[in-house]
Amino acid sequence: MDDADMRGRKLLKQSGNVQMSQESFEAPRGHQSFRYFVGLTEGPARSFDTPHAAWDHFQKLTNVSPKRDPGVTTPAL
């Protein structure tokens, strides 16, 4: 994401050259909504409607494994 892409966006997370940012905007009926963007510092960003989808894409780009709650176990099949 270049400087022009980042205007008006809040940087939420950065790992290496991958950035995740948030942009607020006024949705219909005057409600505040958010859009999320994930991309390389030297390229276009991909837009997401939910933080979960943006975080999943960020993890894929950075090869970060999702943190698991140690108290939660996966049942054996």
pTM beyond cutoff 0.75:
no
Asked if 23 and 9 count as a contact pair (C-beta separation under 8 A), the reply is yes
pLDDT at 26: 85
Q: pLDDT tens string for the chain (77 positions)?
A: 555 556 678 999 999 999 999 999 888 888 889 999 999 988 899 999 999 999 999 999 998 766 655 555 555 55
pLDDT at 73: 54
Q: What are the respective helix, strand and coil percentages of the chain, to the nearest 5?
A: 25, 35, 40
Angstrom CA distances, 19 to 23, 30, 42, 73, stand at 13, 29, 10, 31
